[in-house]
Structure 1
Amino acid sequence: MKRINLLFVFIMVLNDGFGQLIDQKGTRETVKLFKSLKKIQKKGVVFGHQHATEYGRGWSGEEDRSDVKSIVGTHPGVIGIDFSGFTGRNPELYKTKLRKTVQDTYNRGGIVTVAWHFYNPMGKGGFYWKGSDSLEVVSRLIPGGDGHEKYKAILDDIAEWVNSCKGANGELIPMIFRPYHEFDGGWFWWGAPHCSVEDFKTLWKFTLSYLRDERNVHSFIWAFSPDNKFETEAEFLERYPGDEWVDMVGMDNYADMGRNRYDLDAAVRKLKIVSDYARKHKKLAAFTETGLESIPNEKWWTETLLKVLQSENLRLSYVLVWRNDKKSETHYYAPVPGHVSAPDFIKFYEDKFTWFEEDLIKKNIYKK
């Protein structure tokens, strides 16, 4: 048994090189971000928050503000945005505001990650399955489907916007793109009960190849992230399109982190599957979504989240908690001044293992 463990460690060391982007034409800044995250995840983890600078509890659209900054004096290192509004009521205004968020984040020295709560393009519903037209959507979007041309037009719009996001010196801004997340659940129309394994893989491959090869999008780091329903590496990889199609592997997990139960052993075990796969295959790894709504546990940051992140020699580039709704009294995942968990969040921030925007600025992560 000891010999097997030593062999595993030896293999991990051999495979712990930098690897490279799957996009051979990836921009210099995107390649640098990939390599910087590889280095960071050997030392700690970058803290992220969804929609952190767009809005927070009781406010929206204020310059250089975030609820996190109101407590610790710096923004989260990773800022989560969403392409959902691209097919919303006023897409042009949405894209203009979102472009500014991306540019501001990058120009300060932070990192952008993109989710896509994709409104069903073939029905009247939203991104949830129960809000769809209850017909399979994925098979209609892939080549040969009756919605394929419509899907290409949507991707054209995304490509145009991504290639319009430029830094202060005119360089394209890198983004971690995480499409079709939580695909192992049934709540989204792209979820496992609503499409075959092969159709899902085809959708992923077409989306990537079309944006990269046809529309010249070369500033994406492509992230693959199911929810927490797997128990083995084989289950984690069931819908994995292949190493040539993925830069980062991750997992979303709220259930084990206090929402449904406190099962930190399960959370660590699943993250270890993600982390170990990334190390063996020279990919990035991340805890792509987590959090505890309203954060009633005043020690959640250090005794739950940090404890998990520091277990089992995990190598995770970032962890992202979900958004702070600007109107809801309960739907928020990061504290504000006076919140019961704020003192513990400060301890979480002060721990050398956690990285925030100020730490990324010091390291100048986009420069040679």
Structure 2
Amino acid sequence: MQTLASSYKLRLAFFTVAAILLAASCKKGDSGTPDDTDITPPGSEVPSLATVRSWLADKNATEETAALFYNLKKMAKTNVLFGHQDATKRGVTDANTQWANEQQFSGVSSLKSDVKDVTGAYPAVYGFDYLQISGFFDDTWGWFSYEKQIARQLSIEAYNRGGVCTYSWHYGNPVSKGSFYWSDSPVEAVSKILPGGSEHETFKNSLKIVADHAKTLVGADGKLVPVIFRPFHEFDGDWFWWGKAHCTAEQYKALYKFTVTYLRDELGVHNFIYAWSPGESYTSEAQYLERYPGDAYVDLVGTDNYGDMKVSSNPTTAANKFKIVSDYAKRQNKLAALTETGLQNLPKSDWYTQILLKSLKQNKLEFCYAMVWANTKDAYWTPYKGHAAESDFKTFKSDPYMLFGDKLTATTMYKIK
């Protein structure tokens, strides 16, 4: 989102990240359009592990990963989990003071959370980013290693308390080794990182870093932490180098397919649920699916929507778009989610109940989660104590439709039962 882009630049100005690439090896029947295969969604009878695995892009997914998919699918029929990007990574104390679990700061507790400070509960979903883990940095000062370590720690802690981890990937341009923003590094990359391209090995090396990190996420129970992995999002816009103006639809699909198959089949990552999410530019299912890589590669269909969630927005506008996503997920046995949203700095004090909650409650949606963006001093998305939106946020939290971390346990989320 362009609004999101400006807030990223404020907090990530010192980053230069890069490299992405993927390619296509299409399997029989893997078109980007919906198929007519009969699908039996989860019902009242608890399915076997083998059955749940058969629904996933990774048929060898870990038991906990399959259980997470099943439980999110089941819970989406009656509730939506609330998520916050960088929930225990960074935040704000007030409009002028921010905190962060970063190398240059000391004494910040890994248990700190803006959402918990205000509501008494952690979010249910914790957003992380492979930007800080798989990038093109000079690590002579240790920053790169620290970011890997703190992301690992915070992810494991979230899992241990029953939370859900999702990782996006603001991947720096792998050809220029510069920014993920096209405006900052206008170098065509997608065709060059696909198989046969000049930077294909660069992209594969980046995927190996992602895979290696995923395999280090081991909870207190000795199990790998499941991750909802969401690469190459908001591709319907032009602000990222993988956006629609910078590659064809077929190139984008090939990129996404290669990402999944290489991580799964070559690198042996089996704790990923694969998410795919455009922005809000669509108004029909056909538009929504224009760059869909196919059901064989996607477990969660989502959408990022900031533009329809503004101060003066009618919640029905967003809700109607959400219905397109939810209906597809129901029909094809996928998860659906509002993968990013928010109102920067919350100038509308009742935004959570009057815009977000109302948009989610319309149209009998089955969204498993809704996640707002990360808090920094210049751009925050959940209120701090004393903010005008604090009371409304607490009312939002108390609505039975919304689930925060105090309603989840590891057994709730990571066992099929």
TM class by shorter-chain length?
A: over 0.9
Q: List per-residue Cα deviations over 1:63-115 (Å, max 9, x = no partner).
A: 31100000111110000000001214532211011100111100111000001
Q: Which amino acid aligns with 1:54?
A: K
Which residue of the partner structure matches residue 231 of structure 1? 283
1-structure distance, mates of 2:373, 2:40: 32
Q: How does 1:228-307 map to 2 (within 5 A)?
A: 228-258=280-310, 261-307=312-358
Count of residue correspondences: 352
Q: Indicate conservation of the 8 Å contact 2:57/2:297, yes or no.
A: yes
Which residue of the partner structure matches residue 47 of structure 2? none
State the shift of 1:157 in Å.
Answer: 1.1
Which residue of the partner structure matches residue 384 of structure 2? 336
Q: List per-residue Cα deviations over 1:177-235 (Å, max 9, x = no partner).
A: 00000000000000000001111111101110000000000000000100000111011
Secondary structure of the corresponding residue to residue 219 of structure 2: coil
Establish whether residue 212 from structure 1 lines up as the match of residue 264 from structure 2: yes
State the shift of 1:17 in Å.
Answer: 3.4
Establish whether residue 53 from structure 1 lines up as the match of residue 88 from structure 2: yes
Establish whether residue 118 from structure 1 lines up as the match of residue 171 from structure 2: yes
Which residue of the partner structure matches residue 132 of structure 2? 85
Q: Which amino acid aligns with 2:339?
A: T
Which residue of the partner structure matches residue 23 of structure 2? none
2-structure distance, mates of 1:296, 1:148: 45
Establish whether residue 75 from structure 1 lines up as the match of residue 122 from structure 2: yes
Q: Which amino acid aligns with 2:99?
A: W
Q: Indicate conservation of the 8 Å contact 1:176/1:220, yes or no.
A: yes
State the shift of 1:334 in Å.
Answer: 0.6
Q: Which amino acid aligns with 1:357?
A: G
2-structure distance, mates of 1:127, 1:201: 19
Query: Where in structure 1 are there 5+ consecutive unaligned residues?
Result: 1-10
Q: Indicate conservation of the 8 Å contact 1:46/1:78, yes or no.
A: yes
Which residue of the partner structure matches residue 104 of structure 2? none
Q: List per-residue Cα deviations over 1:36-88 (Å, max 9, x = no partner).
A: 10111001100000001011112222231100000111110000000001214
Q: Indicate conservation of the 8 Å contact 2:309/2:343, yes or no.
A: yes
Q: Indicate conservation of the 8 Å contact 2:326/2:336, yes or no.
A: yes
Range 237-246 or range 57-66, more displaced: 57-66
Which residue of the partner structure matches residue 97 of structure 1? 150
1-structure distance, mates of 2:41, 2:209: 37
Q: Which amino acid aligns with 1:264?
A: P
2-structure distance, mates of 1:265, 1:350: 22
Identity across the alignment (%): 45
1-structure distance, mates of 2:234, 2:65: 25
Cα RMSD (Å): 1.6
Establish whether residue 364 from structure 1 lines up as the match of residue 412 from structure 2: yes
Q: List per-residue Cα deviations over 1:262-303 (Å, max 9, x = no partner).
A: 132221111000000000000000000000000011111111
Q: Which amino acid aligns with 1:17?
A: P
1-structure distance, mates of 2:182, 2:188: 10
C-alpha distance 14-311 of structure 1, shift in aligned 2 (>3 A): farther
Which residue of the partner structure matches residue 203 of structure 1? 255
State the shift of 1:15 in Å.
Answer: 5.7
State the shift of 1:14 in Å.
Answer: 7.9
C-alpha distance 245-14 of structure 1, shift in aligned 2 (>3 A): closer
Secondary structure of the corresponding residue to residue 49 of structure 1: strand
Secondary structure of the corresponding residue to residue 145 of structure 2: helix
Give 4+ residue runs of structure 1 displaced > 6 Å after superposition.
none
2-structure distance, mates of 1:300, 1:293: 11
Range 19-28 or range 66-75, more displaced: 19-28
Q: List per-residue Cα deviations over 1:102-130 (Å, max 9, x = no partner).
A: 11100111000001010111104201001
Secondary structure of the corresponding residue to residue 370 of structure 2: strand
Q: Indicate conservation of the 8 Å contact 2:39/2:333, yes or no.
A: no
Q: List per-residue Cα deviations over 1:224-268 (Å, max 9, x = no partner).
A: 100000111011001001101100000000011006x51322211
